[in-house]
Amino acid sequence: MTRSRIIACGLVAVVALSLVGCGSSDSGGGATGRPASADSKGGAKKKLVIGFAQTGAESGWRKAETQSVKDEAEKRGIDLKFSDGQGKQELQIQAIHSFIQQKVDGIILAPVVVTGFEPVLKEAKEAGIPVVLSDRAVEVKDPSLYATLVGSDFVDEGKRCAEYLGKKMNGKGNIAEIEGNSGSAPQIERKKGFDEALAKEFPNIKIIADADGKFEIAKGKEVMEAMLRANGKNINAVFCHNDDMGLGAIQAIQEAGMKPGKDILIATIDGEKLMVQQVADGNSNCCVECKALLGSGLFDAIQQAIDKKILPKKMIQKDDQFDETNAKAMVETRKY
Ligand code: GYE
């Protein structure tokens, strides 16, 4: 890419992001400021119908996101068809088929894994229905199969956890990694950001255990228990791909008679109030935020896609970080 093209793309992304930002104070009608949908003669407005194929309800983050989409739909007078994918790709594909049959105006998809969505996205495109991705990416050969992705930079979130733990460990020791559901964008990208930053900046820290905790509290606890059984006191820190697995890990460490946040350092991602509280209480050390209240940004994006605006392929939110320097002051400000 030439320098001028890079700058031009950057500008598009900034403009689009500011539109996403504006939507939060919007009382309805999306970024255009128009009603959700008006007929061609400017007559009575027709309710916009949007299908939302959600991954499931695996974490507190996910439940907060679902609520944010539902609240925003209600605020804008949008008819939302909600489908809970229960962590299963087949159910998400079925839901999209049903949205296409119902001739919805647009589809929001939070894909449970990155692969396997291309055929159904083609069907949506052929039916003229724009798709906006919520929080997670898909791997497709044809990028025109979706309008944009509204979410966070997962690679950077992982990198920030590595930098925090690496410094806190004075550049040496052993880490256990509890990953999100295998094959999902946050699992792949957070792992990449974390593992690469660690290898580059802290070559004397080793990852000695690594397992799938499915982004769930119970599974995170189970995985931590197994890691403690196998590696005992060799684990100096644990990196969890989300807060819920971190909450499970805290319980497992306590039940094993150790002090989480002290005997074993912990870094997690999401920014749930429950976890920021744990950091404030000293039971965990670093929580990198992943903004969950995406409803407004998603509906702004889908409205623009319906209006045939060209959007940047990613609309990235900026995430905060909570640790010993600010967690106490920030707990009460957390909305999820
Ligand atoms: O971090 C996790 C959730 O895709 C950003 O999925 C999302 C992740 C989030 O279940 O808690």
Ligand 1 pocket (Cβ < 6 Å) reads 58-59, 61-62, 135-136, 186, 215, 242, 269-270, 290
Cα–chain center distance at 334:
16
Q: Answer whether residue 196 shows pLDDT above 90.
A: yes
| Cα→Cα distances 247→145, 177, 202, 242, 329, Å | 37, 14, 26, 9, 20
% of the chain beyond a pLDDT of 90: 85
Average pLDDT over residues 307-319: 97
Q: Cα of 42 to ligand 1 centre, how many Å? A: 41
Phi first, then psi: what are they for 72, rounded to 5°? -70, -35
Residue 212 in this model has a pLDDT that exceeds 90: yes
For residues 149-175, give the mean pLDDT.
98
Residue to mutate, 135, 190, 268, 291, ligand 1, most ligand atoms under 8 Å from C-beta = 135
Computed over every residue of the chain, the mean pLDDT equals 90
Q: What is the pLDDT of residue 44?
A: 65
pLDDT of the residue at 43: 56
Whose CA is closest to atom 8 on ligand 1? 186
**Closest residue by Cα to residue 159 from 135, 183, 189:** 189
Average the pLDDT over each of 25-34, 211-220, 236-245, 278-287 and give the range with the smallest value. Answer: 25-34
Q: What's the CATH class of domain 154-290?
A: alpha beta
Look at residue 18 in the predicted model and tell me its pLDDT: 37
Give mean pLDDT, residues 280-309. Answer: 98
**DSSP SS3 for 5:** helix
Q: So what's the pLDDT on residue 45?
A: 73
Q: Among candidates 220, 211, 228, 212, which has minimal Cα distance to 275?
A: 220
State mean pLDDT over 267-278: 98
Q: How confident is the model at residue 296 (pLDDT cuts 50, 70, 90)?
A: very high
Contacts of 235 (CB under 8 A, 6+ apart): 174, 175, 176, 208, 209, 227, 228, 264
Q: How far is the CA of 129 from the centre of ligand 1 (A)?
A: 26
Percent of the chain with pLDDT over 70: 87
In this predicted model, what pLDDT tens digit does every residue of 67-126 receive, in sequence order? Answer: 999 999 999 999 999 999 999 999 999 999 999 999 999 999 999 999 999 999 999 999
Domain parsing of the chain, residue ranges: 49-152+292-318, 154-290
137 in Cβ contact with 120 (< 8 Å): no
* pLDDT value, residue 232: 76
Cβ atoms within 10 A of the Cβ of 15, count?
10
Q: Which of 55, 58, 59, 298 to mutate to test the pocket of ligand 1 (most atoms within 8 A of CB)?
A: 59
Q: How much is the pLDDT for 146?
A: 98
- Distance of CA 223 from the midpoint of ligand 1 (Å): 18
* Cβ 95 vs Cβ 82: under 8 Å: no
Q: Given a cut of 50, is residue 174 above it in pLDDT?
A: yes
Cβ contacts of 140 within 8 Å, gap of 6 or more: 117, 118, 121, 146
For helices 154-168 and 185-201, the axis angle rounded to 10 degrees is 40
- Residue of the CA atom closest to atom 5 of ligand 1: 135
- What integer pLDDT is reported at residue 42 of this predicted model? 52
pTM across the whole model: 0.88
- Contact status, residue 290 vs residue 332, Cβ threshold 8 Å: no
CATH code of domain 49-152+292-318: 3.40.50.2300
